Amino acid sequence: MEKLKYNRVLLKISGQALLGDLDYGIDPKVTNNISSQIKEVVELGVEVAVVIGGGNFWRGVSASANGMDRTTADYIGMLATIMNALGLQNALERIGIITRVQTAISMQEIAEPFIRRKAVRHLEKKRVVIFAGGTGNPYFTTDTAAALRALEIEAEIIFKATKVDGVYDKDPVKFKDARKFVKLTFLDVLKKNLRVLDSTATSLCMENNLPIVVFDITKPGNIKGVIMGKKIGTLVTKE
């Protein structure tokens, strides 16, 4: 039996990551890749919860910058995350992974409401639980929802999925000499204003000593690699 470094994790996927080759919406290549990576670790007995963003459909902050009130813009964003959750649920179920979607805003014809104890029970039964609708509150990002839900379900770590293989001192796409950090502290992230999770989410992780690993989800096998303790991406911890 392979030794697992983590047994219960929360995977944070941005809406942007679901775009893949598209300008808008959900690229099935992306959801299929993510689903098969999740399947690999669920089959090892890992309990996986997912928080998903909505930026592939709607960006609340830019909508509010363009004149919409922030609360309304954020509610539309929360609805976008529910669309993504259903898309990912479908991709997971097509490959035989049992899932439950729970929403922070009640929408019971479509999914279960968020009930912490039920979510934990689902995880214990090795169902993948997808948390949708952010925290249910405007002004809070899905990063903050990820930190909050991870704490509530007592996940050991947040897996922050990105398109690059960790956190760099500058944009590695634009700058050839960008340096990757293998390890960082929460304080480094806040002081250097590195975009790992937003500052509210980072503070929540720091106060509660919840580590974050930032890694490239586009590379098949990476979720399993991190679960098995391989040095992939950037690890953010208290010290």
Task: Pick between residue 22 and residue 115 the one whose CB is nearest to ligand GTP.
Answer: 115
Q: What are phi and psi of 81, to 5 degrees?
A: -65, -30
Residue type, 106: S
Strands 128-132 and 99-103: parallel
| Smallest distance, ligand GTP to C-beta of residue 122, A | 6
Q: Output Rg (C-alpha) for the chain, integer angstroms.
A: 17
| Smallest distance, ligand GTP to C-beta of residue 133, A | 13
Residues that bind ligand GTP (CB under 6 A): 100, 108-113, 125
Task: Pick between residue 110 and residue 187 the one whose CB is nearest to ligand GTP.
Answer: 110
Q: What are phi and psi of 123, to 5 degrees?
A: -65, -45
Task: Pick between residue 112 and residue 156 the one whose CB is nearest to ligand GTP.
Answer: 112
| Smallest distance, ligand GTP to C-beta of residue 98, A | 9
| Smallest distance, ligand GTP to C-beta of residue 100, A | 5
Q: How far apart are CA 147 and CA 150, in angstroms?
A: 5
Task: Pick between residue 132 and residue 204 the one whose CB is nearest to ligand GTP.
Answer: 132
| Smallest distance, ligand GTP to C-beta of residue 27, A | 25
Task: Pick between residue 100 and residue 160 the one whose CB is nearest to ligand GTP.
Answer: 100
E strand or H helix that includes residue 32: helix 28-42
The full length of the chain comes to 239
| Smallest distance, ligand GTP to C-beta of residue 86, A | 11
Burial call 139-173: b when 16+ CB within 10 Å, e when fewer: ebbbbbbbbbbbbbbebebbbbbbebbbbbeeebe
Residues in Cβ contact with 224 at an 8 Å cutoff, skipping those fewer than 6 apart: 37, 40, 41, 44
Task: Pick between residue 112 and residue 188 the one whose CB is nearest to ligand GTP.
Answer: 112
Strands 234-237 and 212-216: antiparallel
